[in-house]
Structure 1
Amino acid sequence: MDYGEFSGAYLSNDGQTILMYFSENISGNLCDIYFSQLRKAGDWSKPKSVGKVINGKNTDEVSPFLASDGKTLYFSSNRSGGFGSYDIYMSRRLDDSWKKWSEPKNLGELINTSGWEAYYSLDASGKYAYMVSTNDSYGLEDIVRIPLIEEAQPDPVVLINGKVFDSKTGKGIAAEIRYEELGHEEVSGVARTNPEDGSFKIILPYGKRYSFSANVDGYFPVSENIDLMQVEKYKEILKDLQLVPIEVGHTIRLNNIFFDFGKAELRPESFPELNKVAKLMRENPDMEIEVSGYTDNVGSDSFNLKLSTNRTEEVKKYLVSKKINKNRIIAKGYGKENPVTSNETEEGQQQNRRVEFTILKK
């Protein structure tokens, strides 16, 4: 498809979409913007045009950049009405087809000059832009940084950074990090850690609740979750991810198991987490586990013991429904025993309310 003189590409932050520009005409020098998406098989779809709203007739659209919100597109074009030979424009994606966009808006003379501007990009906070410009340059073109006015900023996002580490050794691990909408198993995005120290950064748009975990062969991925339903300002959150070696005696906390207050029935958003446990047990047909349930110190001892026991029985029942032999699972409630931290704060109580499983036999 790419027969022209110029081309380039940009990979979205979630690793699921490539935006590219090229010409389908032999030796053509007028480019359009296309998109390609990662398929479940691991290959990429054939590039498709983002549509006529972005790609003008007899105009050149180049250097696409998709902001961290996954919706706001910036690109350079020589369409009429600009301040210079090529200006920066902004448009917002209106649906998941990647073909419907808002009318492109010229970012104005605070960004665009009488010269040539392209290769526009933003930092995660959306506060600063970087681009290449010929205006007042030291050479043919210079890289410049620009503080952005609010109208030119994308929707705010959250930057999650931390480390993936071995729970046994405490050392950082090279891992793949997957994140999805909580309660769903379709991957929303993929990132990879720094192989030297296990550090990572992922960017998540507001408006959803997310589950994310690190994945490495020989370890069980301990999941974390974060609620970003309420839109706020850009912020950064530190969240480490631990990986537990699949070895006899190791206890693994299931962070994404959810019950209504005072009840034992599993909420549907718990199913993807339990499906991981079922998958682990299918891959290790001799494995036996104990599912352990704990509460905080609110309520009577008898109520908490019964509640924790009933919850572990519900977890066992779900695993059995996934073709795991019931004799391979011990379900036991411990009530408010064995707290991992003090119950004096709400955060401590939340930490103590938990479901875990321990590998008894492998």
Structure 2
Amino acid sequence: MKSAIIFSFLLLCLTTVSQAQNLNKAYAAMEEGDWEVALGMLEPIIKKNAKNNEAKFLAAICHTERYRLEEAISLFNESTAFAQDSPYFWVKFAKAYLLNEQIDEAEQTIQKVRMQDLDDFLRPDYLLVSSNIQNAKKYLPNPRDIIIKNLGPNINTDGNEYSQVVTGDQRGIYFTARRKGTAKVADDGEAYEQVLTADMNDIDEWDKDNPLEGFASTTANEAPIQLFNNDSTLITFYDEDLFISQKKKDGTWSKRDALPINSKRWDSHAFIYNNGNSMIYASDINHEVENLDLYIMHKDEKGKWGKPAPITELNTPVNDDAPFVAEDGTFYFSSRGHDSMGGYDIFSTKYDSATGKFNAPENMGAPINLPNDDTFFTMYGGFAYLSSSRPEGYGQVDIYRIIMFNQSQIQGKFLECDGVTPVANATITVEGEDGPISTTTDEYGVYKMVMPIERSFDLRAVLNGETIYEKKHTIRVLFRDQFDVDQNFYVGCEKNDETIYVKMINGFDLDPTNLPVDPPSIEGIKPKVTEEVVEEVAPPAEEPKEIIAAVPAEKKIKLPNVFFDFDKHNIKSEFFQRLNEAAALLVENRDLRVMVAGHTDEYGTNPYNVALGIRRYTEVYNYLISKGVNPSQLEVKTFSEDTPIATNYTIEGRAFNRRVELSFIEK
């Protein structure tokens, strides 16, 4: 990750005896962004003369640029006397505080310098840091409710890991790393980049990484940029240009072919989309000094790439990089400009076909963006990845996974240890960061509630004033090709794992708090029957009385009710004979009309029960039509759980409510 900060102005502006102290080489290295090289020159000077405040000031800048912020702040504090020679000292000190998320300290520090005290070369940096601080004050207090997790020590180290791309099933990753001892040292004092790869295990934890064969050069910088076409096409960055490779049948990759956008300048990143017909890329081709801009280009009717055009509505005077177009059409990129909080921030926008331009970019805010560098953002439905230099990482830059929500619907049963006896009417409470959430189990021990994910919480069950269950749990979300959010808890025994794994179908329209899942099965569950319940219900022992149709006396007939098993809509064979009689009556009397109404018990959500009522009346309607009934004689309607004919508090009562009623419609 190259820096666009230029230090030549320091040579012109700082009134010190740099040359006498042999600091000019350190300034030159810093001008090139070679922070480690500069540190290698500065540390011997500091060791020889601990009172050399200028050398400490420069070393503090180098540590800041390499995200070693505690070391930087310590050196700034030791060298405050240098501010008497240059007020610019406070600008760099404020930036270190800002990147360390000490916003109040950053604001207090930047206020120690006035812009009129700075040379023209230094004022833009002062204005940028001041703006970053104000943006941080705007975004940091209002973080989004999402989960950001470090990929862990099998991927991230005390070095640099970034520029990640994932496989189509999102269970494999390619990324680049700069780690000591793994490659030759580049001109900037760090090991050359190497492309690594790793896979997920069954519980979505990353296995140890390995070099990607053919892309792990030890003598050049290389990074994966995009993986697409069912993981068969890979774009990589190599020595300041972009290349494309194809996977061969034996699993190895073909030789690199240069993309048509390569120039004699720095071409850092590209993303091909629109079925391979469009490309957005980043390059500093039109600048004398390093300054990445975004460009867009399209293929013509013959499949040839057209002329690239700068995306003027998105480009800024500083670096704009790392384009990514998600499946829903949202365009993400990284920028040091716009309303960044410091370093790179992630921005989102969409293309407006009416105007032919991209909409004004929006800062994605905290915690996706923090005052440090946040870049290489990729979005896949309900989760995403980014590279970030945030302070809590393993090293200078780490890779993080983002789940775009922080809670999920969970359902299941509270049972005794035998696995069939429910814990009914218990109050279930989750104690999380956002306060308590409660629900009550039904007679089958069934519960349904929203619980926090990816962080520890206390789960408690209370029955008749007594706490019968209390334990810490963590819910881990696994993105798979199914929904499975059922979790049973067992009271009084050690059957409950602390970590709960749930499965969700990943998608941009995912609502984790209202998932389209069936209610938990109650098959085999034996609720405790009390006298109070029996007296309350008193359901009829036989099938409810059938409705007497209001038809001429010589044609009086009882229309049947058709009853269904739990969560089913198929007609049981025992009702065929009565439906045949009803069909025969309607065929014989074409002036008769009948309402076919679908009903459910109250178990499940209303939208689900409405749909279940439709499925039930559709089965009966189609059966009558198959027996010769004219469709004009029938009307249909779903009442879902709204019109029960018995209690919903017992198995027997709910069985009567799961029905289709046939009733005559008056003329």
Q: TM-score range by the shorter chain?
A: 0.3 to 0.5
| Larger strand proportion of the pair | 1
More helix by share: 2
TM-score (norm 1): 0.38
Superposition TM-score, scaled by structure 2 size: 0.21
